[in-house]
Amino acid sequence: MGRALIIGAGGVASVVVHKCCQNSEVFEEICIASRTKSKCDALKAKLDGGKTKIQTAQVDADNVEELVALINEFKPEIVINVALPYQDLTIMDACLETGVHYLDTANYEPLDTAKFEYKWQWAYRERFEKAGLTAILGCGFDPGVTGVFSAYALKHYFDEIHYIDILDANAGDHGYPFATNFNPEINIREVTAKGSYIQNGKWVETEPMEIKRVYDFPEIGEKDMYLLHHEELESLALNMPGIKRIRFFMTFSERYLTHLNVLQNVGMTSIEPIEFEGKQIVPLQFLKAVLPDPASLGPRTKGKTNIGCIYQGVKDGKPVSYYVYNVCDHEECYKEVGSQAISYTTGVPAMIGAMMLLKGEWKKPGVYNVEEFNPDPFMEALNKWGLPWKETFAPKFVD
C-alpha cells in the first residue's frame, strides 16, 4: 500500500520498524534514517528478508535541506518522526516542501527551554491545510492512545466529560539503581519541570512532584504516583467539550526519586551549558552519556505497565464514570520485538497512526492531535497489533 520514512533509530524507532514489518500489507517499503547510520543498518539486518523492503540512510534531521533531499529520493507518503522533539519543526518544514504527510510522538521543544507546548506546531495548521497534507501530532501512548481513549469515551459513553485523570504506571524493574526508560535527557527534563494541571480552563502550576497520590492499579497493585505537566493536557482541554479538570499522574519509585533529587541537587540535571576543561558541556547531556542506554534495558526489565484514563461526566443527564487502560508486559514485548514496554507502547501507536493515514481513515489536511480523528478504527487496531485495552464503568477514583 505505501512507503514510510522513519526518522530515528532509537528505542521507539526500533519498535516502529518491527511493527511496520509485521504489517507489510500496509508498509510495503520503509526507509530508516537517522544521525548514526550504523544503528539503522543494525535494525535492517534484524528484519531484512521479510515482505517489507527496507532501506537505510544517514540524515541530520536538524537540517531541512538534507531532509528534503532524502524525502525526494525515497518518495515516501508519510514521514514517521521518532527522533527527538527538537527535530519536529525541521521535519515538518521538509514535509511541506516535498508534499509528504507527517506523524510524531512528542511535541516540539526548543533545546534551550525545557517547556513543551503545541503552539509551535499548531502554527503550521494553515500551511498543511493549503498543501493538502495531514500532520498527526503526538501519536505514541501518552500523548497518543490517551487522546484516542478520550475521543472513544466521548463518542460512545458521554455527552460531556468533566474530569479526566490520565494514569501512567510502570511497575517494571530493570535491576539498575537508576536508569530512565526512554531518552534520559527528554525524560529528566519532563520530570524535573514544574507540575501542572488544567482546572476550569486555566493552568494550575505545582512544584515538581508536589502532588502525590497512591493508586491501586489493575494487574499491578498499589503505586505512588505524582502529578506532572504533560503535553496532551493542552490539546484535550481544547478538544473535550465541558471539561472541568484534567490531570496527569506518573508512578515513580522511592529509589528513582532519591537518585533524581541528588542529581538535581548537585546540578547534574541542568540544561545550562558549563565550561569543563576548556569545553562547553551541558550537565544533563553528560548525565545521559553515563546512564544506561534505554535500549539496553529490554532484556533486563521484568513487570508490567498500566496506562489509561479515568473519565467522569454525564450522558443523557445521568452521571457516568469510565476507565479504559492497557496493561503491557515488559518481558513479552522483549520476546516479540526486542524492546521493553515503554518503547513498545509508544512505537505500536505510531505505526497504527501511520497506517490510519495510509488507509485514508485519518487523512484530512491540517495539523491535528489524535483525539480529533475517528477513534474506532484505531481502537480496533490497538487490540490487533499488541496493545489490547480493558474497560470498566466502576473505577476507583483518584482523590
Per CB under 6 A, residues contacting ligand NDP are 8-13, 34-36, 39, 59-62, 82-85, 87, 105-106, 140-144, 182-183, 186, 294, 342, 346
Minimum gap (Å) between residue 43 Cβ and ligand NDP: 10
Minimum gap (Å) between residue 391 Cβ and ligand NDP: 20
Minimum gap (Å) between residue 235 Cβ and ligand NDP: 12
User: Among all residues, whose Cβ is closest to ligand NDP?
Assistant: 10
Residue 382 three-state SS: helix
Q: Is the CB of 83 or the CB of 328 nearer to ligand NDP?
A: 83
**Per-position DSSP letters for 275-303, written without gaps between them:** EETTEEE-HHHHHHHHSPPGGGGGGG-BS
Q: Is the CB of 43 or the CB of 96 nearer to ligand NDP?
A: 43
Minimum gap (Å) between residue 5 Cβ and ligand NDP: 12
DSSP element (H, E) containing 6: strand 2-7
Query: For residues 396 and 350, what is the distance between their CA atoms, to the nearest angstrom?
Result: 30
Minimum gap (Å) between residue 318 Cβ and ligand NDP: 33
Q: Is the CB of 11 or the CB of 313 nearer to ligand NDP?
A: 11
- Three cell numbers, residue 73: 529520493
Residue 351 three-state SS: helix
Query: For residues 153 and 309, what is the distance between their CA atoms, to the nearest angstrom?
Result: 10
Q: Is the CB of 81 or the CB of 134 nearer to ligand NDP?
A: 81
Q: Is the CB of 10 or the CB of 283 nearer to ligand NDP?
A: 10
Residues in the chain: 399
- Yes or no: say if 18 and 337 are a contact pair by the CB < 8 Å rule: yes
If one counts every other C-beta atom within 10 angstroms of the C-beta of residue 98, the result is 19
Minimum gap (Å) between residue 57 Cβ and ligand NDP: 10
Q: Is the CB of 104 or the CB of 329 nearer to ligand NDP?
A: 104
DSSP element (H, E) containing 195: strand 195-199
Identify whether 349 is preceded by a cis peptide bond (ω within 30 of 0).
Answer: no
